[in-house]
């Protein structure tokens, strides 16, 4: 089963990030282990490993969706930094680490986890483990991730609710088309998502940050008539 497949990498991840005498935030202790288990599924699958890994994670996604508040006004939820429920510090944390993998990149996330582990072993990590991890990840990725940690780690704003409101293609020069994609987020948590436009001869993907309770427009230039 998937759980049996993930058992070994989860145990190894616990051993890697655990630091005697230096208590870790539960979302990093448990979340990194679960995250590494899903990566093991991705890397060891014979084909389409990413899909299989996400299916492994999605198995508990429904429970997380039920636990999350529909808005910050309805319930405070459980910010990851102080989470006491496994559905948050294990399941949601693994989702958050997958998101950070997409936003910051594999190399930056790997380097940050290694540096965070070494800092704890040396006894120099700050008590606010989430803040120190954020700083390491920003340094490694050269990205401002304050918006991400504010919405996904330091507070529980529920889940984003994204929709493509409209798409406007217009012809440009030399067989190119400029496509404007309007995206809305009726949830309270911001999200950075990939937007892809395809034609018969090419494909273009750009990432766009859609704020909570807000909208964003992404314009993409593509060769050939866009497919709807």
CB 101 within 8 A of CB 93: no
Average pLDDT along the chain, 228 residues, taken 10 residues at a time = 49 56 77 89 86 88 90 86 93 96 95 77 51 92 96 93 96 96 97 96 96 97 91
pLDDT, position 6: 55
pLDDT, position 127: 42
Dist. CA 26–CA 90, nearest whole Å: 8
| pTM of the predicted model as reported, rounded to 2 decimal places | 0.84
pLDDT, position 59: 87
Query: Measuring CA to CA, which residue among 117, 111, 94 is closest to residue 41?
Result: 94
Dist. CA 225–CA 163, nearest whole Å: 23
Query: Measuring CA to CA, which residue among 31, 27, 37 is closest to residue 7?
Result: 37
pLDDT, position 71: 84
pLDDT, position 129: 66
Distances (CA, A) of 99 to 94, 103, 123, 192, 217: 9, 6, 28, 8, 21
pLDDT, position 5: 45
In 3-state terms, what secondary structure has residue 226?
Answer: strand
pLDDT, position 126: 38
Query: Measuring CA to CA, which residue among 120, 93, 121, 98 is closest to residue 109?
Result: 98
The DSSP annotation for 167-205 comes to EEEEE-STTEEEEEEEEEE-SSS-EEEEEEEEBSS-EEE
pLDDT, position 1: 41
pLDDT, position 47: 84
Q: How distant is the alpha carbon of residue 200 from its chain centre?
A: 30
pLDDT, position 83: 92
Q: Kindly state the tokens that stand for 115.
A: 């540096």
pLDDT, position 85: 95
């Amino acid at each position: 089963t998937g759980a049996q497949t993930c058992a070994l990498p989860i145990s190894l991840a616990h051993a890697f990030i655990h630091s005697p005498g230096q208590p870790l935030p539960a979302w990093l202790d448990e979340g990194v282990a679960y995250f590494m288990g899903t990566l093991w599924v991705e890397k060891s699958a014979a084909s389409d490993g990413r899909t299989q890994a996400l299916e492994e994670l999605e198995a508990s996604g429904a429970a997380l969706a039920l636990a999350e508040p529909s808005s910050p006004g309805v319930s405070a939820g459980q910010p990851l930094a102080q989470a006491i429920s496994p559905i948050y510090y294990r399941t949601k944390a693994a989702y958050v680490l997958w998101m950070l993998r997409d936003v910051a990149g594999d190399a930056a996330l790997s380097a940050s986890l290694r540096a965070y582990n070494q800092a704890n072993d040396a006894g120099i990590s700050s008590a606010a483990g989430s803040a120190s991890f954020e700083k390491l990840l920003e340094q490694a990725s050269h990205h401002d991730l304050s918006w991400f940690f504010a919405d996904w780690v330091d507070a529980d704003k529920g889940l984003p609710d994204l929709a493509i409101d409209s798409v406007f293609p217009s012809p440009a020069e030399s067989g190119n088309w400029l496509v404007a994609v309007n995206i809305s987020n009726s949830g309270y948590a911001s999200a950075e998502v990939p937007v892809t436009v395809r034609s018969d001869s090419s494909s273009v993907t750009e990432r766009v940050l859609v704020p909570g309770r807000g909208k964003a427009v992404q314009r993409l230039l593509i060769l050939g008539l866009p497919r709807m």
